[in-house]
Amino acid sequence: MTLTSLYLHTQFAATAFGYLEMILVFSLMGSFIPSATLFILPFAALAYFFAPPTFNLDDPRDLPVVVAFLVASIVGTHLIGKVRREREVALEAAARLRRSEAELRDREKQWREIFEHNPVMHFMVNPTGTVLNVNTFGATQLGYAPSELVGHSVLKVFLEEDRPFVRERVGLCIKTVGQSHTWEIQKIRKDGSVLWVRENAKAMQWAEDKLVVLIACEDITERKRTETALRRSEAHLAQAQELSRTGSFGWNVATGEVHWSKETFRIFQYDPSTEPTPQLVVDRTHPEDRAAVRETIERALQNEEDFEHEYRLLMPDGSVKHLHAVVRAFRNASGDIEFVGAVTDITAAKQAEQQLRRSEAYLAEAQHLSHTGSWSWDVHRLEFVYRSAEIDRLFGFDPEQAVSIETIRSRIHPDDLPRLQEVPRQAIEDKGGHFEYDFRILLPDGAIRRIHSVAHAVVGSDGHVSELIGTHMDVTEQHAARELLEKALAALRESEQRFRDYAETASDWLWETGPDHRVTLLSEHTNAVGIPATEVIGLLRWEIARDVEAEPEKWRQHRATLDARLPFRDFIYRTDTQMGSTIYVRTSGKPFFDADGNFLGYRGVSTDITATIRADQAERELRKAQAELAHVTRVTTLGELTTSIAHEINQPLAAIVTNGEACLGWLGRETPDLSAARCSVEWIIEDGIRASEVIRRIRALAKKGEVEMAPVDINDIVKEVIALLTRELVSHQVSLRTELAPALPLILGDRVQLQQVITNLVMNGIEAMQAVRDRPRELVIQSSEDDMGRVHLAVTDCGIGITEDDEDRVFNPFFTTKSSGLGMGLSICRSIVEAHGGSLSIARKQEPGATFQFVLPLHKEVVS
Ligand code: ADP
């Protein structure tokens, strides 16, 4: 420019303008600072070359021009710079806008991508709950296409029961615009399956007056499942803790932080809301255990070691609990010591243990008392696996010492050893089973114990017997008792047999009746008598008898006895045999009762006494015949005595006549001698009485009356006989001597029959002395009482006597040595005496003659 201007010699103004333009152009192109730097050069060139004076810079006139140029250029440059800057800014802003637009688009795209595929479900709903937008992920998660949800109520993806809640939540969001709300809820997929979501919702202003609710949902199904599982396992753990009575705890020693499980609270009986502290444990610990617990914990703290201990708690109600605690010590992430552990309520176990211990003690005591020891024997090692204290006592083993097989054998009775070895051997061979055996223990002091053993073999996993387990019971005492019992039983059996024999021999059969008096049992012998037991069993006793109607009173009395449950003896009744013959039964019975005194019936014996009854009847007949005979002989005797009797009667009659005549004489006097007459009459009366007495006696003897047993004095009878026979004695020149013992006891007898006996003996004596001429004929009648209180009467004569041969025969009927004799006298005498329970015999006598004597027993009633 300068060169061009210099060459063209342009004017200053043109040059300056050119320069200015150049500067402005440069200013347009560049920045202000290079253009400002650039205009220094035109300024200098202009001032030097073109401002007059040219080539001179000192001319002051140049200054205004140059300054003007400078100002113009500066202003121009500045303005251009400003315009250029503004343009640049505008360009830059436009470029930035373009850039940000692209960026926004990118971002929107990105966000849309994120929105669409974000693994969070996004819903945009209007206040009525209609879905305005939903991301693909959200729709897909629910099994829908987004288009299936948009425009529909959001409630369709919720469970029916949750819909009111959703409405309420949306309403809340609308009410509190801009505020976030979170909840967890279940959503229902198109296929009906359910998922758990955590929803975060917020209402926003969308258009000017439009509100929308944005909901972001996160699928928490897995978490929920885990949570449920966790909750379940927590519940299980709590349950397990409760069931096992085991609580857990943690204790950070440094921070003092304590955690207890629910069960721990329960064990220590604290309210679960209580803040757990170590002090609570100390408070509950039994005072006696506190020191030990503290010491254990302190030691564990010092040594930082795990520990385990048992202690007791004293509960507020005074009960005691036993606890077992297992505690682990460790350092946590912060380096603090922490204890975690488990505490178990072992009260029940402790009690069970105590119970067990007590049971063991009881068992030992029971074994001791019952003399029963238990044992277990290893069949391979041949040694005891276990033996109770009682086994040691039974065998006399030292409880502290192992027992060798030799020692055991030495304690077993040698006789029992083979069997004792055989029995277990057999059990081992049989591979199991139960076996019992008896043996004797021979103690070192020689004492013997009898053992009853019960055992069984235990089969091991190899199928072979590994062990024998059993008990030994000391039955020595039982054995002795059993022996005694057996002896007693044998004795009892023998005694039973003996009594049965007695009963059976004393009777014909045994019977038993029930409480209703029906026959329940009958010994077989009844068959022999013709009463089959089978026909009688079940009958009432009076149904068997045939004399109930004939003898009602007898049976009435008998049944009264039965009703009174009294024993009865010798009850006689009549019945018929199967063959129809009548038999007589004598029966005796006794009631029997059970232990409580209940009447069970009668037991008794019966005898067929038909023969006895028949014999009695025969005897009665015989007696009758004998009495008849006695009567006949008596009458015969009387016949023999006719002379004497006539004399006995004639004598008083003659006296009566004589006295009567005398009386008449006394009365016939002029002066009747009345006193003499009276005397005569008195004698007449006496003689009359005497005569009538004789007649009475004869009548008595001749009378055929019934036998009348009555207490009589034998001396009286003797005297009566003498009175009757006095004449007979006199006529036969026999002197009579009587030696009658005074105050003899009375005997029970028939006066007439006894008179007959004595008369007979006296008459025989008189007759036996008929031939005696060389000595006085003397007859002695003696009565006496012997040591046994019996009455003796002896008639002794000094007649011809009786030869030894005749001694037995004289009592035979029809034996007589007399020509007119009947030979019935002595025979009848003997049967009379015997009927009185006595005996008649001939007494041995050295002198000539004979002594007949009889003995009569005293009757019981008479004795008393
Ligand atoms: P009986 O007198 O009718 O002969 P007894 O029976 O009384 O009948 O006597 C039988 C016999 O016993 C007599 O015949 C006589 O031989 C003998 N006897 C009886 N009593 C005596 C007596 N006291 N002394 C001698 N013999 C006697």
Please give the average per-residue pLDDT across 366-382, as a whole number.
86
pLDDT tens by residue, 667-690: 998 888 889 999 999 999 999 998
Indicate if the pLDDT at residue 558 is higher than 60: yes
Which atom of ligand 1 approaches the CA of 799 most closely? 24
The least confident of 110-124, 735-749, 786-800 is 110-124
Q: Is the CB of 701 under 6 A from ligand 1?
A: no
Please give the average per-residue pLDDT across 524-535, as a whole number.
77
Task: List the residue whose alpha carbon is closest to atom 2 of ligand 1.
Answer: 821
Indicate if the pLDDT at residue 562 is higher than 60: yes
Output the CA 704–ligand 1 centroid distance in Å. Answer: 25
Indicate if the pLDDT at residue 276 is higher than 60: yes
The token pair at 709 is: 């047993």
Please give the mean pLDDT across all residues of the chain.
87
Phi-psi region at 200: left, alpha or beta (left = phi > 0; alpha = psi -120 to 50): beta
* Residue 795 confidence (pLDDT): 95
Output the CA 757–ligand 1 centroid distance in Å. Answer: 13
Output the CA 764–ligand 1 centroid distance in Å. Answer: 6
Q: Is the CB of 632 under 6 A from ligand 1?
A: no
Band of residue 413 on the pLDDT scale cut at 50, 70, 90: very high
Output the CA 815–ligand 1 centroid distance in Å. Answer: 8
Is the separation of the CB atoms in 738 and 758 below 8 Å?
no
With tokens 């009865």, the residue in question is: 568
CA separation for the pair 22, 575 (Å, rounded): 188
* Residue 57 confidence (pLDDT): 62
Indicate if the pLDDT at residue 861 is higher than 70: no
* Residue 31 confidence (pLDDT): 61
Q: Is the CB of 54 under 6 A from ligand 1?
A: no
Band of residue 39 on the pLDDT scale cut at 50, 70, 90: low
* Residue 627 confidence (pLDDT): 76
Could you give the residue ranges of the DSSP H alpha helices within 118-220?
136-141, 146-149, 163-175
- Ligand 1 mutation target, pool 816, 819, 845, most atoms within 8 A of CB: 816
Which atom of ligand 1 approaches the CA of 822 most closely? 3
CA separation for the pair 408, 404 (Å, rounded): 6
CA separation for the pair 680, 131 (Å, rounded): 184
CA separation for the pair 85, 79 (Å, rounded): 10
With tokens 């204790």, the residue in question is: 251
Band of residue 735 on the pLDDT scale cut at 50, 70, 90: very high
Strand order in the sheet with 246-252: 258-260, 246-252, 337-345, 320-331, 307-314
Indicate if the pLDDT at residue 633 is higher than 70: yes
* Residue 863 confidence (pLDDT): 43
CA separation for the pair 372, 390 (Å, rounded): 6
Indicate if the pLDDT at residue 163 is higher than 90: yes
Output the CA 746–ligand 1 centroid distance in Å. Answer: 29
**In the chain, how long is the greatest CA-to-CA distance?**
277
* Residue 370, C-beta contacts closer than 8 angstroms, at least 6 positions apart: 473
Q: Is the CB of 677 under 6 A from ligand 1?
A: no
* Residue 800, C-beta contacts closer than 8 angstroms, at least 6 positions apart: 768, 769, 771, 772, 848, 849
Indicate if the pLDDT at residue 567 is higher than 90: yes
Q: Which of the two residues, 529 and 132, has the higher pLDDT score?
A: 132
Output the CA 810–ligand 1 centroid distance in Å. Answer: 6
pLDDT tens by residue, 93-133: 999 899 988 888 888 888 888 777 778 888 999 988 899 98
Indicate if the pLDDT at residue 862 is higher than 60: no
Band of residue 864 on the pLDDT scale cut at 50, 70, 90: very low
pLDDT tens by residue, 611-628: 888 888 888 887 777 777
Q: What is the pTM of this model?
A: 0.38
SS (H, E, C) 431-488: CCEEEEEEEEEECCCCCEEEEEEEEEEEECCCCCEEEEEEEEEECHHHHHHHHHHHHH
Q: Is the CB of 817 under 6 A from ligand 1?
A: yes
Which atom of ligand 1 approaches the CA of 820 most closely? 3
Please give the average per-residue pLDDT across 237-265, as a whole number.
88
What long-range pairs does 404-413 form, CB within 8 A, spacing at least 24?
Answer: 411/441, 411/442, 411/443, 411/444, 412/439, 412/440, 412/441, 412/442, 413/439, 413/440, 413/441, 413/442, 413/448
Q: Whole-angstrom distance between the N-terminal and C-terminal Cα of the chain?
A: 208
CA separation for the pair 399, 388 (Å, rounded): 9
The token pair at 850 is: 């004979």
Q: Is the CB of 640 under 6 A from ligand 1?
A: no
% of the chain surpassing 70 pLDDT: 96
* Residue 319 confidence (pLDDT): 92
What long-range pairs does 22-29 form, CB within 8 A, spacing at least 24?
Answer: 23/73, 23/76, 23/77, 24/73, 24/76, 24/77, 24/80, 27/76, 27/77, 27/80, 27/81, 27/84, 28/80, 28/84
Is the separation of the CB atoms in 743 and 754 below 8 Å?
no
Indicate if the pLDDT at residue 46 is higher than 90: no
* Amino acid occupying residue 194: V
The torsion angles phi and psi of 728, rounded to 5 degrees, stand at -60, -40
CA separation for the pair 515, 496 (Å, rounded): 24
SS (H, E, C) 595-632: CCCCEEEEEEEEEECHHHHHHHHHHHHHHHHHHHHHHH
The token pair at 9 is: 């010699």
* Amino acid occupying residue 793: L
Band of residue 482 on the pLDDT scale cut at 50, 70, 90: confident
Is the separation of the CB atoms in 823 and 810 below 8 Å?
no
Indicate if the pLDDT at residue 229 is higher than 90: no
